[in-house]
Chain A
Amino acid sequence: KAGVTQTPRYLIKTRGQQVTLSCSPISGHRSVSWYQQTPGQGLQFLFEYFSETQRNKGNFPGRFSGRQFSNSRSEMNVSTLELGDSALYLCASSLAPRAAEAFFGQGTRLTVV
C-alpha cells in the first residue's frame, strides 16, 4: 500500500516568487491536512481538506492557500514568498477528519533565498 506522497521533496525559490506543493494521500483517504515545521515555531497547522472542501484553516496569512481535487490529491500554494516561509511542509492523510490516525508524507523542504 503506497504511503503519502509529497512532491517535490526539495525546492529553492527566490523572495517574491510563488510555489505550489503537492500531496497525494493514501488510497481511500479523503482527508488531507497541511503543517508547516520551522525550528522557531515548531509544527503549525495550515489547512485541512475533506471532499474538496477546506474545513479548517490555521493562523496564516492569505498568501497561503490550498485546494483538494476529486481524487483527494491536494495542493498548497504560497504566493509572494518571504524568507520566513522557509520550512518543511508536511501533509497528513487520514480516512476522514478526526480519524483515529493520520499518516504523514516525507515533506517538502522549501528554501526561500
Chain B
Amino acid sequence: ELKVEQNPLFLSMQEGKNYTIYCNYSTTSDRLYWYRQDPGKSLESLFVLLSNGAVKQEGRLMASLDTKARLSTLHITAAVHDLSATYFCAEQGAQKLVFGQGTRLTINP
C-alpha cells in the first residue's frame, strides 16, 4: 500500500530563518507533488517533480526529488509570514494521488 510520510507535522519558525520539510514515500514513483493549503481553502499546486534529481524553485521555496532515496524536500529560505500555511506532498500512484499528513507551518514575526 502506498504511504507518504511528512516531517515535521508542525513547524513554528521565525521570519528570516531557513527550514526544510521532508517527504518520504513508499514506491518507486517518479512523480511527486507539493501543494499549499490555507485554512478553509483548497489545495494550490506549488511544484510538480517529474524525475530523479529534479529541483524547482519559486520565490523562497525550493523543492527537490531523490527517487533512489524516495525522498522529496521542500526548503524555505528566509521565511516570511505570508508563507504560513499547511504544505502537503503527494505521490502519484497508479490510480490516485496519495497525500502525506501535511506540515502546518507557522511563521512568526
Q: A: which residues have CB within 8 A of B?
A: 33, 35, 42-43, 45, 48, 55-56, 58, 90, 92, 98, 100-107, 109
**Given the contacts A45-B96, A48-B96, A56-B96, A100 and B48 also touching, CB distance less than 8 Å:** yes
CB distance from B38 to the nearest CB of A (A): 11
- Say yes or no: A33 contacts B96, CB within 8 Å: yes
Interface of A, helix, strand, loop or mixed by DSSP: strand
- Say yes or no: A90 contacts B42, CB within 8 Å: yes
Contacts A33-B97, A48-B96, A100-B48 supplied; 9 other A-B pairs, CB < 8 Å: A35-B99, A42-B102, A43-B102, A45-B95, A45-B97, A58-B96, A98-B92, A104-B35, A104-B45
B101: A residues at CB distance < 8 A: 42
| Number of B interface residues in the complex (CB < 8 A) | 22
- Say yes or no: A101 contacts B45, CB within 8 Å: yes
B88 at the A/B interface (Cβ < 8 Å)? yes
**Given the contacts A48-B95, A55-B95, A58-B96, A43 and B42 also touching, CB distance less than 8 Å:** no
A45 to B91, CA, bound (A): 12
**Given the contacts A45-B96, A58-B96, A104 and B102 also touching, CB distance less than 8 Å:** no
B98 at the A/B interface (Cβ < 8 Å)? yes
Can you name 6 A-B pairs with beta carbons within 8 Å? Answer: A42-B102, A43-B99, A48-B96, A102-B45, A103-B45, A107-B41
A103: B residues at CB distance < 8 A: 45
* Nearest CB in chain B to that of A106: its residue: B42
B43 at the A/B interface (Cβ < 8 Å)? yes
For the complex of A and B, the 6 pairs showing the least CB-CB separation, nearest first, are: A45-B96, A56-B95, A43-B99, A104-B43, A106-B42, A104-B42
B50 at the A/B interface (Cβ < 8 Å)? yes
B35: A residues at CB distance < 8 A: 104
CB distance from B108 to the nearest CB of A (A): 23
A105: B residues at CB distance < 8 A: 42
- Say yes or no: B96 contacts A43, CB within 8 Å: no
- Tell me which of A43, A48, A101, A109 contacts B88 (CB under 8 A): A43
